[in-house]
Structure 1
Amino acid sequence: MKIEEVQGLRIQGVSVRTCNADEAHPGRARIGALWTKFAAQVAPHLAVEAVTYGVYHQYESDSNGAYDLLVGGDVLTPHASLDAQPWSVIDIRKGPYAVFRAQGPIPNAVIEAWGRVWAHFAEPHCADQRAYTTDFERYGPDGEVDICIALAAT
């Protein structure tokens, strides 16, 4: 894990409201279908240089409560118009983020990395505190994935 200062950016895409308890049950899980919707509706409108993000926001409480997940990109093609699409927009907040690198085949690597995130913040003497504002997964061009967790001001 490393700390990164994020400058903030706008992400456009599709979103869903869910919670971790629902995602643990295949009949109630929504995230897989959201990624399918992203691939069909948003990905074709992303610019070549775009980075794909999964942005967690609108937290009800903590990791046990409901949250919104927006899957999208940071750069649309010139002919893509947000007005013509039923997309959502979220601004990733600027500030310090704890960054956890996912290693290996997706989605298992991302699931394993989220396990490390939860274990890190559950440590009794953890110096970091989650802000529960905007957390995100950043999917790099070489297949690397970083999970970035907003940190509370100290």
Structure 2
Amino acid sequence: MHLEQQDRAVRIIGIELRTDNHEAMRTIPPHWQRFTEEGVLARIPGKLSDEVYAVYTHFENAGVNNEGVYSLIIGAPVSSTQAVPPGMSHAVLPAAPRAVFPVPQGRFDQVVPTWQAVWLRDDLPKAYVADCERYRADGQIDLLIGLRHGASA
């Protein structure tokens, strides 16, 4: 893990799923399948890159915890002025310090175990506003955990 300071907000446009931790293992895989099968990445206008972000946000208990219902928006970074196409949604990763956890060997099958390890940690001042998985073109996968303001990067 390392810390990075995100100096400006990042806006993501993509497709949204409302779910919770009890239903996630059942609802999230079909959401990824939809993202792939419908060619969502290619349909996002004004992409700033081909990186894919899976953003967990709009928490029922925002700022407190990740219990209850939340949104998973899978998409790509866009400018702050890009219009949201019909059938899509958007999320904002606020400017804030983030704990970055690389997923071992960039393996998709290691994403869930990496999340499980992160949520066992009680030493991070988690913000519970917007956390994400970032899938880079080079195959690297990182989990980015938003930290409360005042946490140092």
What count of residue pairs does the alignment treat as equivalent? Answer: 141
Counterpart position of 2:126: 130
Residue 31 (structure 1) aligned with residue 28 (structure 2): yes
Counterparts of 2:106 and 2:147, CA distance in 1: 27
Assess, with a 3 A threshold, how the Cα gap between structure 1 residues 101 and 114 changes in structure 2: closer, same or farther. Answer: same
Q: Please list the CA deviations of residues 114-140 of structure 1 after superposition, one character each: whole Å capped at 9, or x if unmatched.
A: 01211223xxxx2x2111111111101
Assess, with a 3 A threshold, how the Cα gap between structure 1 residues 87 and 13 changes in structure 2: closer, same or farther. Answer: same
Counterpart position of 1:92: 93
Q: Is the 8 A contact 1:138 1:146 kept in 2?
A: yes
How far did residue 38 of structure 1 move?
A: 1.3
Note the 1:105-120 alignment, pairs <5 A: 106-120=107-121
Counterpart position of 2:41: 43
Q: Is the 8 A contact 1:21 1:64 kept in 2?
A: no
Partner of 2:105: helix, strand, or coil?
coil
Q: Please list the CA deviations of residues 92-111 of structure 1 after superposition, one character each: whole Å capped at 9, or x if unmatched.
A: 11110111110136432111
Q: Is the 8 A contact 1:14 1:87 kept in 2?
A: yes
Q: TM-score, normalised by structure 1?
A: 0.81
How far did residue 65 of structure 1 move?
A: 2.0
Q: Please list the CA deviations of residues 9-44 of structure 1 after superposition, one character each: whole Å capped at 9, or x if unmatched.
A: 1111001111111124xxxx2111111221214122
Note the 1:72-91 alignment, pairs <5 A: 72-75=75-78, 82-83=84-85, 85-91=86-92
How far did residue 86 of structure 1 move?
A: 1.2
Gaps of 5+ in 2: none
Counterpart position of 1:16: 17
Once structures 1 and 2 are overlaid, which stretch shifts more, 41-50 or 128-137? 41-50
Counterpart position of 2:141: 145
When Rg is computed on C-alpha atoms for both structures, the one with the higher figure is 1
Aligned Cα RMSD in Å? 2.2
Q: TM-score, normalised by structure 2?
A: 0.81
Counterparts of 1:58 and 1:82, CA distance in 2: 17
Partner of 1:21: helix, strand, or coil?
coil
Counterparts of 1:13 and 1:37, CA distance in 2: 11
